[in-house]
Structure 1
Amino acid sequence: MDVYYSYTYSTAGWLALQALPLITSPTMIVTLLSPEVREATPLEVYFSRTLGFTLLTIGILQILLTGSVPLQSRLTSAEGTTTDPEDPKAPYALPTLTVTMTFHALYAFYSYMMWTETGISSFALNVLGSGFLFAVGGWCVLFASSDGRISRKTGADKRTSGFPFKNAEADKRFPKKSM
C-alpha cells in the first residue's frame, strides 16, 4: 500500500501547490492567464481565492478520509493505519480514491483542452501533474485496492483464469484435491 499512501500525499501536495498562488496572489494569476495586463476585478479575486480554499479542502479531506490519519477520539491502538475494508479507520478509502482519481482525470482533460485552445504553458503543466496522478490513482484502483484471493486448498490465486490457454504448469504445482 505504499503506492496508495504516496498517491494520497501527492494529491494533497499537488492541490496545495496549485492553491498557494490562487490564495496569495490572484492578481498574478489573472495577469498570467489574461492576454492584456490589467488589475484583477474583485470578482476574479473572490473566485481565485475560493478555488484555492476549495483545493486545500479537497487535499485535506483526501488525507483524512483515506485512513492516513486516525480519526478516533482516543488512542486505543498503537498500530499503523491500513486500508483494509474491514478496518474501521479507513471505511472511505476506496470511494475517496475513486472520487479524487476522477477529479484528476477531469482536471487533466479540461487543462488539455485549454492548453490546445490557448497554448498557455501553465495548462500543460497541469496536464502533466493531474494526468500522472490520474494514472497512479487508476493503478491503485485496479491493483492496490484489494488483497489477492489465495485459495486455502490449492494455494493459487483464485482470480486467475486458464482462458484462452490452459496453465498446465500451475496445475502440476497445485494439484486439485478430491473431496
Structure 2
Amino acid sequence: MIVALLLDETRPASSIEIYFARCLGFSLLTIAILTVMLTGSIPLISSISEPVTTEDSDPKAPYALPTLMVTSIFHSASAFYAYTRYVTTGQGFFAIAVAASSLLASIGLWCVLFASSNGKISRRTGADKRTTGFPFANSEAAKKHAGKKAL
C-alpha cells in the first residue's frame, strides 16, 4: 500500500479517496462555522444590547478564548505544513497558503494577547498598570521616574 502511494505516475482517484476528500472538505466547513459561532461573532440570540467580549464572565461567548487558542494553533500548524511542502516542491500555491495561514495565526495570537482582558487601569494616571517596555515604550513609567536619579 505504501508503494502505491509513492508512485509518481498519475492515476484517477479512487472512490474512497474522493469520499475522504469530500468528507474533509465538509468537516473543515463545519469547523469554520462552529468557530465563528463559538467565538460569539454570530449571536445565538435575537437581541444583544452589549458587544461580545472574550472575558470568562461573558455569558454570550463562554468558549471564545479556548476556540481562539485552538484555531490559532491549527493555523500555525497549517502554516508550518504548507511551508515544508513549499520547500520540498517549490509550488507557488503553498507559498500563498503559508502567507494566509500565518496571517490568520498571527491575528489569533494578537487577539489572545491583547484583546482578552481590559487591563488594570490606574485611577490616578489613567494608564495600564501592567505595561512594560516591550514591544512598545512605557511613557507613563518614564514620566514617573523622570525626576529621580540612578544611584
> The TM-score by the shorter chain falls in which range?
0.7 to 0.9
* Deviation readout 1:75-109 (Å, 9 max, x if unpaired): 4x442541141220111111111100000000110
Q: What CA distance in whole angstroms lies between the structure 2 residues aligned with 1:84 and 1:40?
A: 44
Query: Among residues 25, 44, 54, which one is paired with 2:17 in the alignment?
Result: 44
Q: Does 1:140 align with 2:111?
A: yes
Q: What CA distance in whole angstroms lies between the structure 2 residues aligned with 1:58 and 1:154?
A: 44
Q: Secondary structure at the match of 2:94?
A: helix
Query: Among residues 104, 108, 120, which one is paired with 2:79 in the alignment?
Result: 108
Q: What CA distance in whole angstroms lies between the structure 2 residues aligned with 1:134 and 1:84?
A: 17
Counterpart code for 1:52: G
Q: Confirm or deny: 8 A CA contact 2:79 2:102 kept in the other structure.
A: yes
Structure 1 unpaired stretches of 5+? 1-33, 173-179
Counterpart code for 2:65: L
Structure 2 unpaired stretches of 5+? 1-6, 147-151
Normalised by the size of structure 2, how large is the TM-score?
Answer: 0.76
Q: Secondary structure at the match of 1:167?
A: helix
Normalised by the size of structure 1, how large is the TM-score?
Answer: 0.65
Q: Confirm or deny: 8 A CA contact 1:68 1:81 kept in the other structure.
A: no
CA RMSD of aligned residues (A): 2.6
Summarize the Cα distance change of 1:43–1:121 in structure 2 as closer, same or farther, 3 Å threshold: farther
Which structure has the higher relative contact order (CA within 8 Å, separation 6+)?
1
More helix by share: 1
Q: Counterpart in 1 of 2:52?
A: 82
Residues 27-176 of structure 1 correspond to what in structure 2 (within 5 A)? 36-72=9-45, 75=46, 77-85=47-55, 86-161=57-132, 167-170=141-144
Q: Confirm or deny: 8 A CA contact 1:115 1:121 kept in the other structure.
A: yes
Q: What CA distance in whole angstroms lies between the structure 1 residues aligned with 2:51 and 2:102?
A: 27
Aligned pairs, number: 134
Summarize the Cα distance change of 1:145–1:35 in structure 2 as closer, same or farther, 3 Å threshold: farther
